[in-house]
């Protein structure tokens, strides 16, 4: 898994994630996203277009980051989520926490 910050504006960051988010990589993703929160980025858009797989550990990392951002009045938004991953979000009811956006522009304007 790789995560690259492709945009930083005041309280916003957009992060492109590629690969698999699992028990081996979820901690790294959490560290990257929380570092952005520590910099004052309260709104983070995670672009999942390149994410092939996300397991329960990955979902847990996302929930933890979202909780931290929400505490400061912010949010974590997911874009480019594949149909199979959307299904997992629906099954776990995390789609109510993470409304999947079609693309980064959609996440930034809604």
Give the pLDDT confidence score for residue 29 in this predicted structure. Answer: 98
Say whether pLDDT at 59 is over 80.
yes
Say whether pLDDT at 110 is over 80.
no
- Average pLDDT rounded to a whole number, residues 95-99: 91
pLDDT tens profile 10-32: 999 999 999 999 999 999 999 99
- How is residue 81 written in tokens? 């989520």
Give the pLDDT confidence score for residue 99 in this predicted structure. Answer: 84
Give the pLDDT confidence score for residue 86 in this predicted structure. Answer: 93
Give the pLDDT confidence score for residue 54 in this predicted structure. Answer: 95
Put simply, whether the predicted model's pTM sits higher than 0.85 gets the answer: yes
> How does the average pLDDT of the chain come out, rounded?
95
- Average pLDDT rounded to a whole number, residues 47-62: 96
The full DSSP string for 72-105 is: TT-EEEEES--HHHHHHHHHTTGGGTSPPBSSHH
Instruction: Identify the residue whose tokens are 């672009």.
Output: 47
Percent of the chain at pLDDT exceeding 90: 95
Q: What is the spatial distance between Cα 36 and Cα 14, in angstroms, rounded to a whole number?
A: 10
Q: What is the spatial distance between Cα 57 and Cα 88, in angstroms, rounded to a whole number?
A: 13
């Amino acid at each position: 898994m790789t995560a690259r910050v492709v945009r930083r504006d005041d309280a916003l960051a957009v992060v492109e994630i590629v690969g698999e988010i699992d028990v081996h990589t979820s901690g790294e993703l959490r560290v990257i996203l929380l570092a952005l929160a520590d910099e004052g980025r309260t709104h983070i858009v995670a672009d999942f277009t390149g994410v092939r797989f996300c397991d329960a550990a990955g979902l847990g990392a996302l929930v933890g980051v979202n909780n931290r951002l929400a505490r400061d009045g912010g949010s974590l938004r997911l874009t480019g989520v594949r149909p199979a991953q959307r299904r997992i979000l629906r099954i776990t009811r995390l789609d109510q926490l993470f409304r999947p956006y079609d693309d980064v522009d959609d996440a930034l304007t809604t």
